[in-house]
Amino acid sequence: MIEFAWPWMLILLPLPWLVRQLLQPATGSGEAALRVPFLKELPAVSASGQVRPRAPWPLWLALIAWLLLILSAMRPQWLGEQVQIPVSGRDLLLVVDLSESMQQDDFYIRGQRVDRLTATKWVAGEFIERRVGDRIGLILFGERAYLQAPLTFDRDTVRTLLYEAAIGLAGRSTAIGDAIGLAIKRLRKKDDMDRIVVLVTDGANTAGNVFPLEAAELAAREGLKIYTIGIGADEDIIRSLFGNRRYNPSRDLDEATLKAIAEVTGGRYFRARDTEELEKIYSLLDELEPIEKDLQQFRPRTALYYWPLAMAVMIALLLFVLRMRGRW
């Protein structure tokens, strides 16, 4: 069905008539000159000396254009069929590390070696898609923390913004405390909803103005639950001309701090050494924070105002051309 968002715009319908009634006709400047105001109409005089009557259709076109403008101003909308949307009553913020160490390529996706951020995007993107009913937001952090996507039901947009994230976008260092502080700021004063933070990092707090444990204590007082995920392989191999050397690419990961953050806020700490473990962690998060089944009714709206507006503009252009050619 069609409905109008601003039906009160109908009060503008008699506006042209009111303008014609209230405004005085334009007068000449009073200069001493011979004026022929009907010069353009002289060709309309027939050989018999009689003036041919003007065609009324341009005036009718102008009236139709005005009606179309009023119709467009009333904002017609098409209401679709009712859609049931599950709402969980949960706010969930993904906090993702973009520091320089996330470019370490110690993960594999379908047999192809990728960096840690690519693996995070791969798994977290599917996690976002499954969270139907949650309001999801995205915070990216490195040396500084930025709110990339505010809390929204639009999961596709959040996932797109996550896929567009690049290493070093927020600086090379890691400010875990500042990232948690920004999450607290975005989630505070929402007592009627469950508030969850999922923090993904591969390092230790090396920047920022807030210590991670202090931020975690503040989050606990605000009622936020933080799940922390430490990513990175325990062992990798460097191949060179002098042979292979094994080393630990996750030596900078501060697991003790991540465990403390989760414990203080009532969450859990997870360790992801490869893509499979990361996928299992996000699946476990689905179990720990299940999707509710409460339903809300929603009717999609499609704006239609541009159709009558386009028709009115086309008629106005036609009348302008007729006016310039002396046909009206």
| Nearest-10 crossing angle of helices 255-265, 212-222 | 20
pLDDT on residue 230: 93
Check residue 19 and give its pLDDT.
Answer: 82
Summarised one tens digit per residue, pLDDT across range 213-267 is 999 999 999 989 999 999 988 876 666 566 566 656 678 889 999 999 999 999 9
DSSP state, residue 223: T
Q: Identify residue 307 by its one-letter amino acid code.
A: W
Res 162: pLDDT: 94
Question: What is the pLDDT, as a whole number, of residue 262?
Answer: 95
DSSP state of 8: G
Q: What is the pLDDT of residue 37?
A: 53
Answer whether 170's CB lies under 8 Å from 105's CB. Answer: no
> Domains in the chain, please, with CATH?
84-296 (3.40.50.410)
Provide the pLDDT for residue 286: 83
Question: What count of other Cβ atoms lies within 10 Å of the Cβ of residue 220?
Answer: 17
Distance of CA 253 to the CA centre of its chain: 33
What is the DSSP secondary-structure string of 41-102?
GGGGB-TTSPBPPPPSHHHHHHHHHHHHHHHHHT-EEEE---EEEEE--EEEEEEEE-SGGG
Low-confidence residues of the chain: pLDDT under 70? 25-55, 83-89, 190-193, 236-249, 291-298, 326-328
Q: Residue 28 class from Cβ within 10 Å (0-12 exposed, 13-18 middle, 19+ buried)?
A: exposed
Task: Kindly state the tokens that stand for 244.
Answer: 């292979």
pLDDT of res. 268: 93
Per the rule left: phi > 0, alpha: psi between -120 and 50, beta: everything else, 96 is beta
Kindly tell me the burial class for residue 324, based on how many C-beta atoms sit within 10 Å of its own C-beta (0-12, 13-18, 19 or more).
exposed
* Full-model pTM: 0.63
- Which residue do the tokens 């069929």 mark? 81
Q: Which residues contact 250 (CB under 8 A, 6 or more apart)?
A: 202, 230, 232, 233, 234, 273
